[in-house]
Structure 1
């Protein structure tokens, strides 16, 4: 079985580097290069062309919202959906205004990655100085750069509220949130799960928004139980040796 991974804003395949070794035996990974797009239409095209005809999609944050759009537009192309740290709602006005200020500042200032002041809104405080978490986030931002950030902010600013359409999903869905996520309210995740017939909901303890980096073991456990619940072939759990 191959899982199609969709990253979030200013993220690439490094977002999943802790999770991949924990995947059940026999699972493979394919990455959607969302950072290569500059418009919303290009983002959706990348998801359509880089996922399987009947895809098992695992998506994070902005990428999860886009994956949800893809599943609603092409229900026959999605076999299962895992949405991590994402809401089906559009962005609130406060978040939009914050993004507009950031975009305006970046137009005239050099880009230095994600400063600590911004990082505090994405990770649980104990992880702020962990190079395997904060360091990876900062390096991804530096490598993908200002133009990618501006394009992704612009392309994803206006989002329709998809809550009322969640009942249309035909595939099993796993929603995963971080216990200390400052970006996605827990109430949104619970409401989303309640609106989907085949759904389950998990929370990663001691994690902020960046669940794949902050809580890879818990996310791997959630994926194991999720896929075991509906796949015809048994899922063999990966045994790690230290």
Structure 2
């Protein structure tokens, strides 16, 4: 019998390298396929592309950061295709209105301007420090993240920024999830903090919440063994 398919969705400025520890660690449990997270400038369109390209009709689905938001749009469009759902270091709410929403828009567009004017290395210099715990700065893993950011182009980043600025509210999607669900985040994630994930887990019927110690936003690379173990447990939960 063929192993089940596990679809892994990377986040903003991430590629398949962000999932490599899990692909290796789960090889005896699942066939892993990394979904595209660019080529469109809306989350619903990215979800439609994932569904079009997925190499099996039904699959387990795990998304990290922006990838988690894509995963929620997959659940909106085709919940019958998803056997189980994992949301890592992500969120479900739309961009807020008022000053908070304008502040987010300004922050994201300022980073985009830096990428266009000074290159992706400058973007990595500005953006990455807040994505990991301070203790990870300068580490080998941090170097991998810098290289990953620099494999992207300003045009790819622009499309992803647009998708995130116009992100839909997925509260209604969470309430309808009817498959084994994992909500995971780094205990020290400053971008998508633990209290947001606790609230998200309460919105999903019977979801399991995992907070990873000594870990920031880039959990799959910062604490790969803990994340892989949590995903392994999730993959064995009965449907």
* TM-score of the superposed pair, with normalisation by structure 2: 0.88
Partner of 2:58: 54
Partner of 1:142: 150
Could you list the per-position Cα deviations for residues 136-167 of structure 1 after superposition, in whole angstroms to 9, with x for gaps in the alignment?
11111111222111111112211222224411
Q: Which runs of 4+ in 1 moved over 4 A?
A: none
Q: Tell me: CA distance 1:101–1:156, structure 2 relative to 1, closer, same or farther (3 Å).
A: same
Q: Does 1:4 align with 2:7?
A: yes
Distance in 2 of aligned mates of 1:156 and 1:26:
32
Q: CA deviation at 1:49?
A: 1.6
Distance in 1 of aligned mates of 2:133 and 2:123:
15
Q: CA deviation at 1:113?
A: 5.3
Partner of 1:14: 17
2:121 match: secondary structure: coil
Q: Tell me: CA distance 1:224–1:105, structure 2 relative to 1, closer, same or farther (3 Å).
A: closer
Partner of 1:82: 86
**Runs (5+) with no aligned partner, structure 1:** 232-242
Partner of 2:115: 106
* TM-score of the superposed pair, with normalisation by structure 1: 0.87
**Runs (5+) with no aligned partner, structure 2:** none
Q: CA deviation at 1:223?
A: 1.2
Distance in 2 of aligned mates of 1:68 and 1:26:
23
Name which of structure 1's ranges 60-69 and 49-58 shifts more when overlaid on structure 2. 49-58
Number of positions where the alignment pairs a residue of Structure 1 with one of Structure 2: 229
Q: Does 1:176 align with 2:184?
A: yes
Q: Tell me, yes or no, if the aligned pair for 2:124 and 2:150 is still in contact at 8 Å.
A: no
Partner of 1:234: none
Q: CA deviation at 1:95?
A: 2.5
RMSD: 1.8
Distance in 2 of aligned mates of 1:182 and 1:91:
17
Distance in 2 of aligned mates of 1:123 and 1:80:
27
Distance in 1 of aligned mates of 2:232 and 2:114:
43
